[in-house]
Structure 1
Amino acid sequence: MGIETMWMYIKSFEFDPPASILTQELAIKLLVGQKPDYKVVNETKSLLEKVLDIYEERLKNSSFLASNNFTLADLFHLPNIQYLMGTPAKRLFENRPNVNRWVTAITAILTWKKTCDVKAWYSKKMNGY
């Protein structure tokens, strides 16, 4: 649990700040009809690259961040990763083989796929009420 907690802190204080900014600039702004600020994107990209370099090293020896099993430490990364994989920032993940393997594994988890299936979610909700 200690290792899992450590990775949740790393996610919160190192991964999330740049990932959230990139998500806002490259995904959310486009969804609401605004243009990304590419100066912010370029400055922030290098911050996320440094974090992903650390993840790349960790994932050489582990299937997931905290262990060889999927944990909350991995789950907590999914929302930003899901958005970023639909943007040019996906290269930051794909250019690191171990990070890419990890992202592929965590985004393929059935419950996450169901969570992201907006049509199914709204369909069930609308039919249930």
Structure 2
Amino acid sequence: MAIKVHGNPLSPAAQRVLLCLAEKDIEYEFVYVDLATGQQKKEPFISINPFGQIPAFEDGDLKLFESRAITKYIAYAYADKGTPLLVEDPKKMALIQVWSEVEAQRFDAAGQKLSFEILVKPIKCWATDEALVEQLQAQLATVLDVYEKRLAQSKYLAGDNFSLADLNHVPRINNLMKTKVRALFEQRPHVWAWCADILGRPAWQKVLAGLN
């Protein structure tokens, strides 16, 4: 099989890549990386991602790391398969890029840290920094206020069609829905409807089924 994804099923970054492949209906080999034992620092994984982080990706002789770069490659390289995630129209493509940047630089900047404080730290028996959690929730609320206004104008962030900008949110939102942060989404009706839509997509349900 030409495509390989090196990752851990608990990693939202790895899940992001798996979701993109599912939306494109592309077969792949999943290479399990054990984060607890440090197996990710061994070959061949480290030869693909020199930072020793997941996921790492192979498509024939092409080797990539950084999940958003990987999903963008998949969307371009396999544009004729499955769900269209990018478009040729430059204005529409610009909107996809804008909201993709917002996801990476603003939404996930707060969401990743919240997940670490609320989900990861308790598993490791570390104390949650409640003051930091409050600060991060305020940051995320500000982002979601912008989303609420945007989603009052269009079904998805970049327009009326599901795109890479929406897809990249899915794993992090799925994790946050398991926490008290869920209330921030519920309080905003357009955001809540958007979440229900993207979390309910068949491709994401397929990914979740494969992780269990």
TM-score scaled to structure 2, two decimals? 0.54
Q: Which residue of 1 aligns with 2:137?
A: 45
Q: Which residue of 2 aligns with 1:35?
A: 127
Deviations 1:82-120, CA, capped at 9 Å, x for gaps: 10000000001110000000000000001111212222x
Deviations 1:47-93, CA, capped at 9 Å, x for gaps: 00000000000000111100111100000011110100000000011
Match of 1:99 among 182, 185, 191: 191
Aligned-partner residue type, residue 74 of structure 1: D
Summarize the alignment of residues 1-129 of structure 1 with structure 2, pairs less than 5 Å apart: 1-117=93-209, 118-119=211-212
From the two aligned structures, give the one with the greater strand fraction.
2
Deviations 1:30-53, CA, capped at 9 Å, x for gaps: 333333211110011100000000
- Which range moved further: 60-69 or 34-43? 34-43
**1:28, distance to aligned residue in structure 2 (A):** 1.9
Size of the aligned set, in residue pairs, is: 119
In structure 1, the gaps of 5 or more residues are 120-129
For 2:125 and 2:200, locate their aligned partners in 1 and report how far apart those are by CA, in whole Å: 29
For 1:107 and 1:26, locate their aligned partners in 2 and report how far apart those are by CA, in whole Å: 21
From the two aligned structures, give the one with the greater helix fraction.
1
Larger relative contact order (CA 8 Å, sep ≥ 6): 1
Q: Whose radius of gyration is greater, 1 or 2?
A: 2
For 2:135 and 2:179, locate their aligned partners in 1 and report how far apart those are by CA, in whole Å: 16
For 2:208 and 2:127, locate their aligned partners in 1 and report how far apart those are by CA, in whole Å: 24
**113 and 30 in structure 1: CA distance in 2 versus 1, 3 angstrom threshold:** farther
> Identity of aligned pairs, percent?
35
For 1:59 and 1:19, locate their aligned partners in 2 and report how far apart those are by CA, in whole Å: 19
Q: 1:70 is paired with a residue of what secondary structure?
A: coil
For 1:103 and 1:35, locate their aligned partners in 2 and report how far apart those are by CA, in whole Å: 29
